[in-house]
Structure 1
């Protein structure tokens, strides 16, 4: 008998005995919890999603700087290991990544092509912050199945809190669903644990650091909007692109992320604002809102941006 059936049985007994007990179920394997809730406990639960630790939480608990959070991410179990980066990498890979894929996904869900799922995870880490056609990914992999399989595996990785695929903003919902995803890790440690570039060198690598900053901002936006009416999307038209678009009903906020301090032209933001009635245009970094300021925002503060 699975855990959800046991909870259902105890629930029935408490109801029969008129015991008004509030039960809180906690689990670090979201796919396992979600599966049990939907199969046996339909109509008997309210879901409270707890995402990755934010910068504010990691800073208060472990004294991280914004730069350390951008590089080392928000895994509290690994936070005390950052002084030994090799040990930190092995911990992330062995205790978190491998455990999540092997136990939280492969043991809990039917996956006919586990090697494909692992390859997709690696590609997601390598191309975080980039728009990638699933058909293009299929062309690079052997025995890759079809786009439907790949899309399903991407949803599994998102459900496990690892990687998601942002949809392209379009006034037409069908066009949003059919768009190529913008791959995004939900914790930047998933990127840096896969590379040999250590923290100090990463700070000097403009291309890598820019990707980490954009991924950290995107992950924060996705994590704090989980379970809300705010969707995180992207936008692109030919060679013009907006990094992130926040959508609440018909309200839109366009966000561009710049890791440097120099002010630059923003053709994507200009094109987007001409095509759509935006609530606000936000530049993160590059003389706009500070990266650390955005990372400190909670959902209520972020929601105030719409007003």
Structure 2
């Protein structure tokens, strides 16, 4: 039987089981008080490009939702354990990919804390909006979140439920995220949680159990820095000017070894290995209070060949110096 026909028959015959969830049309689900959405694409959906706040500024929850508003970094897979994220940048990258970067603002400096390249082949165009989805997780007696479906579950569920499992057997669940940039530059995100199942052994169906909207404002670096409360009062940042970068390290630098190490790690997080190496070496070779952390980081830099040729002997020397203190 053709799957769409089977699904339609399933909706008609099992409506009392709430087997088929209906997703509200975008024009009714999206808040009329929010910035306007662009027209839905007719063929090819373009990904959203720009820089957006990490936290959702506004929520429009549809069905009863037990899930909090996600951060943009969580949705796009660039959150970093132990590091704050203030904003996320989405830009085109070579090879039909998107570069997604997450940033934090510390002491007036913009630090990159996460990055990934998303293959556009892994995205889709759903109802005229650029869309990505999580990998489905499957149900088993152990619980949800199984990578592969458990055949034992299908065999034992009808027995354990005294035959009711033949009427409705859950299969999997996943999240779907659709994006659009509004007329004021904000990022609108529609989040659907979907579940699939099999009824009467042969009928496949899916339902939408969550249908929520979130809005992420266009990133205002000055405002974000003020919210972090780490911006020096003497430093002026406007909406059109980027935050100042960490100063390069030089022979006349008067910063302490700890400050030089911090500067080196700032460059290192942004994959700027040449200035990172200069700062780390100055911190590690300081005549007074040399930084053991910088020595250890130099061990990693030389072992991996980041900004220099890989040199295991030099890496071992820096590791030994760090361990010796």
TM-score between both structures, scaled by the size of structure 1: 0.23
More strand by share: 2
Mark the structure with the bigger radius of gyration.
Answer: 2
Q: Which has the higher helix share?
A: 1
